A = this chain, B = another copy of it.
Amino acid sequence: MKISDPHAVRLLERRLGGRRHALAEELEEIKDQLETLSFRDITGLVMRTSPVRGAKLLRLLPPERSAAVFDALNPAHQADIITAMGDERVVDYFGSIGAEDRVALLDHLPAEIADRLIRELDEGDQEVTNVVLGYAKGTVGRRMSPKVPVVTPSMTVDEVVATLRADVDRLETIYTIPVVDEDRRVCGVLRLRALFGAEGTDTVADVMEPPFVFRAGDDLEDSARWLLSSARLAAPVVDDDNRLLGILTYDEAHDVVEGANSEDSARMGGSEALRQPYLSTPVIRLVRSRIVWLLVLAVSAILTVKVLDVFEETLHKAVVLSLFIPLLTGTGGNTGNQAATTVTRALALNDVRKSDALKVMWRELRVGMTLGAVLGVLGFGIATAVFGLPIGTVMGATLFLICTISATVGGMMPIIAKAVGADPAVFSNPFISTFCDATGLIIYFFIAKAVLGI
């Protein structure tokens, strides 16, 4: 068994990083070294280098292995490699991956390359690909595999086994088998495991389970999460008349959820998801994924300049107030982000729904008041000791109010975003920071004016 060899990988990595055009004998050497590496190491190597070098590596591998490594990459990265490659092997890769992976890849390719590749497919594959392409992005239909085994309730276990044996190479999965009636309506699901527990003469109707299906128009991310959390290997996909169209497998569902998690994580950090490994992404694409949000946030931060401008006179009279600006806005931002992150994740996992808005608000109000009480008392004590009672009072009261408001607003924001059809993650952390900054400053200066009498 080939096991992972970090040293060999590093050596090869350094070698690849060298001159742009390697000599023929050097290529031979790299080829030999590649043969000593495990599948996992090679995949890692391709993921961590630029698309151009990745394409070179793939060319050096034996065809079958090369196609397997290609299959393990994510669609955006595959598209970059295809564009960098532009030779006949691309067509082989394209034919070797599943219909649902092919569609994901097509979504990332320039139109002319996509068209050419579809034309090169053999007729059966072309038809299957077009079926999947017919469903909208973000729906279950777009990621299902149409290559699904079909059995009827009256078949015996032995007959099912014979059918599967004949068809096994053609099928996406044999572990979950949809059972359909004469109109191709799904009436049950047969798990391969149940087949093993049954007698050869039992009928499918005896051992099948009630069906668990998705509709082709169902939301892809929700369905994928539910499939994974249900520990099922796959679920049949049906049309509105409950007729069988295909099957959604757990590994496809995993890719979808992984992508959605990366997107949520990126957006909570105020950027767009890269959709491909960090080290294989060109710097300019990293800039593009961040610049828009950074500009939007900087422009909204002009609000804080305006707020402070209004209170400039107060600041003149007591410059000491400006010392606490970053501390107060920071604390407000942190409290808001804690609440927003928690609720955004709960929404993604479907633990919280839009209709829970009031429950969430009531919880976050109580959490915010508790946090505010703790921080307020501490802030009052420390500030009084260092700057005297008036400043201590301002700090204590401001911290209490800022925590209360930030937690409540932070918790509600993702739900409001979802209600208006936006991505909860986009309207969360960075926006909340900006909102909390402005609100916090207003509270701060009103309290300061009242307490200090200026």
- Interface residue ranges, A against B (CB under 8 Å): 1-2, 10, 40, 44, 47-48, 72, 161, 164-165, 168-169, 174-175, 192-193, 196-197, 210-211, 213, 226, 228-231, 233, 250-251, 254, 258, 261-262, 264-266, 268-271, 274, 277-279, 283-284, 286-287, 289-291, 293-295, 297-298, 301-302, 304-305, 308-309, 312, 315-316, 319-320, 322-327, 329-331, 333-335, 337-338, 340-346, 349-352, 355-356, 359-360, 363, 366-367, 370-371, 374-375, 378-379, 429-430, 433-434, 437, 441
Contact = CB atoms under 8 A, between A and B. Distances in A.
A47 B339 CA distance: 19
Given A228-B254, A294-B371, A325-B326, A270 B315 contact: no
A226 B210 CA distance: 32
Contacts of A430: 334, 337
A213 to B, nearest CB: 8
User: Main secondary structure on chain A at its contact with chain B?
Assistant: helix
Contacts of A228: 251, 254, 258
Given A231-B251, A265-B264, A278-B343, A304 B330 contact: yes
Nearest to A233: B233
A98 B56 CA distance: 46
Given A196-B164, A309-B323, A270 B331 contact: no
A271 B375 CA distance: 16
Contact of A229 (B72, B326, B342): B72
B356 A287 contact: no
Contacts of A325: 308, 322, 325-326
Contacts of A433: 330, 333-334
Contacts of A283: 363, 366-367, 370
Contacts of A268: 265, 268-269, 341
A225 to B, nearest CB: 9
A1 B189 CA distance: 12
Contact of A331 (B168, B231, B297): B297
A266 B342 contact: yes
Q: Which 3 pairs between the two chains have the least Cβ-Cβ distance? A: A269-B341, A278-B346, A304-B326
A297 B336 CA distance: 13
B294 A335 contact: yes
A72 B350 CA distance: 14
B322 A441 contact: no
B290 A326 contact: no
B294 A375 contact: yes
A421 B208 CA distance: 49
B279 A352 contact: yes
A318 to B, nearest CB: 10
A336 to B, nearest CB: 9
A335 B433 CA distance: 13
Q: Among A270, A344, A356, find the residue whose CB has the most chain B CB atoms closer than 10 A.
A: A270
Given A291-B371, A327-B301, A330-B434, A351 B319 contact: no
